Each structure stands twice: as structure tokens, then as C-alpha cells.
Structure 1
Amino acid sequence: MPEPRPPAPDDIRLRKILDDTLIAPRWPDGFLMRTFEHTDAQALHALLTEVFEEGKDAPFDAWWPGLSGDAEFDPELCFLVIDGKGLLAGAALCWTSAFVKDLVVHPEARGRGIGEALMRQAFAAFAARGAGHVDLKTNTLDNAAAVRLYERLGMKPVAWEG
């Protein structure tokens, strides 16, 4: 995995131990999950830049080669949620080292359980690959709602270095 940047104030690393208590994802009515295809790159970039402040200045032509060329990128570990109109409603972009790089849900699709289902999908995928745990980094102030979700899913703080 690429070395993460040094933590910012209030950044934490959370871990989910993958054991026999995992619960399968439940997708809300009208939404389906599939893995990433090359033609999804523009929509994924647009969703990430719409929701995250970080990376707003990264144009697609710089972002995509960096992502797709990363040794940790595997399209099978990029889970997309599509709404009834065929639009990207959410995504979990994971590195092969069992690290959730980005979890994003479009503001209009929030409150339906998409984020929880995406995380459960990531847990199941990494368990199937033999991983013992899944990690992610978040900020306790900027992402308080996400922290509550991660804690509800059984994720616990670990040392920054993992």
C-alpha cells in the first residue's frame, strides 16, 4: 500500500476484524451494486470531487492515470452502487492491502443504507481473499457521521501505522 500521508489533526485509523460474524450487504430497493468498469472512471471521479474537498483540484487526466496505475488498484475491489436511473449513487474504492481508500455516497442517496452496504461488501470481498482485517482512515471532526457508521459496523481505532 502506498505510504499514507501523515495524519492530520483528528485523523484516525479504524480496523474491522474479519471473522465469522460478518453480515452480508443489503442493497436498498432500486439500487444495485456492481464492480468498476473502465467506462465508470469519469462518473467515479465526478462523484469523488463533488463530495470530497480533498482532491477537488485534481483534474480527471491527472487523477485517472494515478489511480489506475497504482499497484494497489484492482477494479474488482471498486464497488459501485447504481440507482434506478443508471446514475452512480455511491462507491467504495479499496486497495488490495485490505484498505478502504474512499467511501462516498451521493448527497441525494444518503440515509438509505448505501454506505453500510458498501462497507459490508468490502468486508466480504476481503474475507473471501483471506484477509484478517480491513482498515480505513477518516477524520473524527469532518466525518463524524461516517465514524458513527464505522463504529456501528464494529470498526475500532488502531495505531496510525496499522
Structure 2
Amino acid sequence: MPSEAAENDVRLRRMLPGELKPARWPDGFAMRTFQAADAVALYDLLELVFDDGMNGPFGQWWSRLSADTEFDPELCFLVLDGEGRLAGAALCWTSGFLKDLAVHPDCRGKGIAEALLWHVFATFAARGASQIDLKTNLVDNAAAVRLYVRLGMVEVDWGG
């Protein structure tokens, strides 16, 4: 579930299934699900992209994440480049909430975030979910908001 809302934070939702397009991974990139050996790389990507210090040290972050009842490694999608480096990730909760979507700054503009979103939508639709939600900031994350809206997400009340 989302943490408390800050100024300009919004909750966005996409109803499922709706029109679903296949995820198109950029040339040289491939997606797979999370494995425990990926924890450090995922943590490093989240720290780099979000740069907010909210995760705390790796050990604390991993303990919280791995013990969370909503964490399912099969719902954490990683995009790797041709050399096996983590280029992007979508970490979802079992409740149908996209907790984190992150693309490495060196890999932006290639369609990784859009492909991850289409994959997330299709995965949750296949599980029978009626919606997928996320929290974002209209000001600090304006480019991502434009992508979310283009892919059919709309603002909803915080209460659901």
C-alpha cells in the first residue's frame, strides 16, 4: 500500500483488462522476474533513481521487503541489458499496487518504462485483477505522469 501522500502526490489507476498491448522490449534488453541474488542491484537502482533516502541501509530495506506479506518475487520484473546489468524494474505488491517503477538514467528514452507497464498490466489482468494503482508526484515526476496517462491511468481518490 502507498505511504503517506506528500504535496502534489496523486494516486493513479488503470482499470483492467482494458486494451492491453504486448510489452515490447528494446533491442538488447530482456525482462525476467526477481531472484534473491538481484536484491543488491535492485536496491542500488532504487537508491539511484529515487535518491530520497527512504530505503535506509540495504540490510534494513531487504529485511522489510522480503518479509512484507505483499512481496512476491514473481511480481518484481527486472529489465537487463545485453551485459546483464539492471536497466529497469517494476516492483508490484500482490494487492495490485505498483510500488516502484525505476529506469536507470543511462537507459531512459528507450521504451523500458512503457514495456514494463504493459507487462504489469497484462500480468495483473491475467491474475483476474480489476485494476492496478500507483502513487506518484505530479511535479517531481511529470514525465512519468505523462506516460501513465497516455497508457490509460487516471487519478483517483486516496481512499480507493
Same fold (TM over 0.5): yes
Tell me if 1:136 matches 2:157: no
Q: Does 1:40 align with 2:13?
A: no
Counting only pairs closer than 5 Å after superposition, residues 91-102 of structure 1 correspond to structure 2 as 91-102=89-100
Q: Trace 1:82-161 onto structure 2 (pairs within 5 A).
A: 82-161=80-159
Asked if 1:64 corresponds to 2:99, the answer is: no
Aligned-pair CA distance for 1:20: 4.2
Between the two proteins, the alignment pairs up a number of residues equal to 160
Specify every segment of 5 or more residues in structure 2 that has no aligned partner in the other structure, as ranges.
none
- Matched residue SS, 1:138: strand
SS in 2 for 1:141: coil
Compute the displacement of 1:56 (Å).
Answer: 5.5
Provide Cα deviations, 1:70-116, integer angstroms capped at 9, x if missing partner.
00000000000000111000000000000000000000000000000
Work out the CA distance in 2 between the residues paired with 1:37 and 1:103.
17
Q: State the one-letter code of the partner of 1:73.
A: F
- Other-structure match for 2:13: 15
Amino acid aligned to 1:62: Q
Gaps of 5+ in 1: none
Query: In percent, how many aligned pairs have the same letter?
Result: 63
* TM-score, normalised via structure 2 length: 0.97
Distance in 1 (CA, whole Å) between partners of 2:40 and 2:93 is 19
Distance 1:20 1:151 in 2: 14
Three-state SS of the structure 1 residue aligned to 2:61 is: helix
- Tell me, in whole angstroms, the C-alpha distance in 2 between the residues paired with 1:17 and 1:28: 26
Q: Indicate conservation of the 8 Å contact 2:55/2:61, yes or no.
A: no
Q: Give the Cα–Cα distance (whole angstroms) in 2 for the partners of residues 56 and 8 of structure 1.
A: 13
Please name the residue that 2:27 is paired with.
29
Aligned partner letter, 1:12: V
Q: Identify the range of structure 1 (129-138 vs 5-14) with the bigger mean alpha-carbon deviation.
A: 5-14
